[in-house]
Amino acid sequence: MNGKSGFALVTGASRGIGQAVLERLAGDGFAVVGTATTEEGAMRIGELLSRHGCPGTGWMLDLGRTDASTMEESVRGFETTFGPVRVLVNNAGIARDDLMLRMDEEAWQAVLEVDLTAVFRLTRICLRTMLKERWGRIINMASVVALSGNPGQVNYAAAKGGLLGLTRSLAQEVGSRGITVNAVAPGFIETDMTRALNPQQRERLTDRIPLRRLGTPVDVAACVGFLASPGAGYITGETLQVNGGMYMS
C-alpha cells in the first residue's frame, strides 16, 4: 500500500514543531491537513501549503472544545477531497504548569483533555479508515518529561506518560492490519520561549545536554517523516527520543 495516496493529518500545525512536521510531510509527497485553534492559524496553514504548491488545507480545531461527532464529520469531509487518511500526527498539546500543591483541578483536567483524551478521540476516528485500508501510520508527540518527570508539570507528565501507554497498547491492537503506532519524545527544542532565555539561562540548559545544543523543530520533524515512511514499516510501539542525549533509556 502506498501511504501517499491519501493525506496526512497533523494537529497543532500552525507553528513550531507542528509546522515543521507539516512541511516535512508535504515535502515527502503527502497531501496534508493541518489543524490550528484559530481561523487565522488555519488560514496561515493553507497559505503555506499553497505557496509551496502542496495539496492540503488548514482546519480550525480546538481539541479541548470539539466533540467527537464534529471531528468525525470533518475528517470524512477531508477524505472526500484528498482520499483516505494515511498518517495521523497527534502533535497539538497544552501546558498549565504549577507545583502540585498549588495546581487546581481545572489545570489538571484541561491538560489531560487536550493532551490525552482528545488524542484518543481523533485517533479512534482515523483508525476506522486505516483499518479498512489496512495501512496507516499513527505518530504521537510525547515529551522527555513523560520519561524523566519534571517538577511543576505533574499534569503534563501524566498526560504524556499516558500517551506512551496508549501508543504501546494500540500498536498491539492494530499491527495485524498494517498500522504502526509510535511516539516521538522531544527534549528541549528551540521555541519562542527558549529564544527568550538570557545567555546564562541558556548555558545552564545546554549544559544538561550531551550534544550541547537545543534541538530544532526540523530535528523532530525528520523523525516523524521517518516513522511515516515505508522504511519504518517494521517499527511499532516504540518511543523515539529526540533530546540530544539529555535523557537516555
Cite the active site residues.
156
Cα 227 from Cα 148, distance rounded (Å):
23
CA distance 170 to 248: 24
* Residue tagged 481561523 (cell numbers): 39
Long-range residue pairs from 51-59, CB within 8 A, at least 24 positions apart, any chain = 52/23, 52/26, 52/27, 54/26, 54/27, 55/7, 55/31, 55/82, 56/7, 56/22, 56/26, 56/30, 56/31, 56/32, 56/82, 57/33, 57/81, 58/13, 58/14, 58/33, 58/34, 59/33, 59/34, 59/35
Helix or strand (DSSP H, E) at 184 = strand 179-186
- Neighbouring residues of 128: CB distance < 8 A, sequence distance ≥ 6: none
